[in-house]
Chain A
């Protein structure tokens, strides 16, 4: 299927289910469609799209592009996909609202273990325990947080709202006074920790950080020279956001 919301909210419903779906405007080919819960911070798709027939009063009147009326609609045990926040949405507005054009020669879409196509840019295998220990040096560099790690570098996704960052009022490492770093907690969006080769002037330690299994850090203790960060600064350069995301609200 050439279009995918990549975790964005397409519709509101009471249950995840799977059913048959016609994705093409010019061909009656049917594929399997799986409705699964979106992550709590996932944005809405923000464009006209196919919707669930669960909420339609005359589902029998629907034909062509969209869910297939009278097809089986069993409960689906699928859960929210880790890291699927729709940072990138695959497909065009036309494909979402009226269906894609059928092209038998197009390369088959490759889906990852998380059920999403590669174009969504949601990495597989993000689940599980990840702990940023105090021994990992972390650097604040311009508009993004970065950290160095032993072994193969990988990208870590944080969902804001689950990030509990506390800041020290004293220089590390002997600080025991912690305060809430509210601009991060209240924001909405996505933080990306990317491997950064060149350390910069600001030195931050990420002490033990729990992972909630959904690609979100639930607790992070930090220690850094207080005077190097303006706590009230909610605008760039302190924020780093992937392309397409609105800036967080303070």
Chain B
């Protein structure tokens, strides 16, 4: 089994966004996911207004080191939304919750490109006009559940005390742990950890990517300016595993600013606007 990620690439008038979907496949072969990605694109595009469409998708293996991905244009010029319903407001989105069977875990997704007629006010659906859109939503949701889509969730694995840290180069914190928390296979790789209670309050108390230099030492992947070590803290490692959704709930509408269209750099566009 291998978890593959399907990114759908959306484009609307003047803005764009991507949505990521995860699913277990019997093999890591990308060709196994192409048919699923096509069907998913068609069902998702039906929920869009006429101003938006899905122009491409990308399938990757997010967790396997050295693994490959592949980009595809969707058939023809793209899968476009409903011919008569518009989706003019780029900030309108619907918050959808993916729930795991245990109900202990959930994942939120913001759906954009919602029909204008569906939203009366932000947070309120139009019950009269909801029917046709809800039909497309139910088809999309049913397909995701039938195909056992889900998400990658981090689970705490082991915890160790941080007995000391120093800073080199000059702002890279190097942590010393109370025991060999990392496995030998994790040495010389990057890992995600969560640090807590270090120095009481510290900028280091957060999720951090570290480079494991030995089974009981690691260093931050990027420079962080922190005060010298004073109080012992804890470091927890995480394992990421696929969690299948057992239900998908339509929660509420809201405002959420989208990104720039594909191939448009946010930073460069803002820089140009100042001139």
> Could you list which residues of chain A lie within 8 angstroms of chain B, going by C-beta atoms?
9-15, 25, 37, 44-45, 47-51, 55-58, 60-66, 69-70, 75, 96-99
Contacts and interface: CB of A to CB of B under 8 A. Distances in A.
23 contacts: A10-B71, A12-B58, A12-B263, A14-B263, A14-B264, A15-B265, A15-B268, A45-B71, A48-B30, A48-B68, A49-B70, A51-B60, A55-B7, A56-B62, A60-B190, A60-B191, A60-B221, A61-B64, A62-B65, A63-B65, A63-B190, A75-B265, A98-B68
A9 B74 CA distance: 13
B34 to A, nearest CB: 11
A205 B48 CA distance: 48
Interface of A is mostly: loop
Nearest to B154: A58
Contacts of A61: 62-65, 190, 240
Given A9-B73, A61-B63, A63-B189, 13 more contacts: A11-B69, A12-B262, A12-B263, A44-B71, A48-B69, A48-B70, A55-B7, A56-B62, A57-B5, A58-B62, A60-B190, A64-B65, A66-B66
Nearest first, the 6 closest Cβ-Cβ pairs linking A and B are A64-B66, A51-B69, A60-B190, A15-B265, A48-B68, A97-B68
Contact of A57 (B62, B262, B265, B268): B62
B222 A51 contact: no
Contacts of B240: 58, 61
Nearest to A11: B71
Contacts of A97: 68
A14 B265 CA distance: 5
Given A14-B265, A70-B222, A58 B69 contact: no
Contacts of B71: 9-12, 44-45, 51
Contacts of A13: 262-263
A21 to B, nearest CB: 12
Given A61-B190, A69-B190, A55 B60 contact: yes
A70 B68 contact: no
Contacts of B58: 11-12, 51, 55
B56 interface: yes
B103 interface: no
Nearest to A60: B190
B60 A99 contact: no
A58 B222 CA distance: 15
Interface string B13-45: 000001010000000001000000000000000
A37 B263 contact: yes
Contacts of B122: none
Contacts of A12: 9, 56, 58, 71, 262-263
A205 B9 CA distance: 44
Contacts of B264: 14
B272 interface: no
A44 B9 CA distance: 15
A61 B5 CA distance: 14
A169 B58 CA distance: 47
Contact of A14 (B70, B190, B260): B260
Contacts of B5: 57
B214 interface: no
B230 to A, nearest CB: 28
B7 to A, nearest CB: 6
Residue among B5, B66, B189, B190 with max Cβ neighbours from chain A (10 Å): B66
Interface in B67-106: 67-73
B140 to A, nearest CB: 21
A68 B161 CA distance: 30
B192 A60 contact: yes
Contacts of A51: 58, 60, 68-71
A50 B60 CA distance: 9
A25 B67 CA distance: 11
Nearest to B69: A51
Contacts of B211: 70
B252 to A, nearest CB: 25
B152 interface: yes
Contacts of A11: 58, 69, 71
A70 B209 CA distance: 10
Contacts of A49: 68-70
Interface string B181-198: 000000001111000000
Nearest to A13: B263
A66 B62 CA distance: 13
B266 interface: yes
Contacts of B70: 45, 47-49, 51
A18 to B, nearest CB: 14
A220 to B, nearest CB: 25
Residue among A37, A49, A57 with max Cβ neighbours from chain B (10 Å): A57
A48 B191 CA distance: 26
Interface string B233-273: 00000001000000000000000000110111111100000
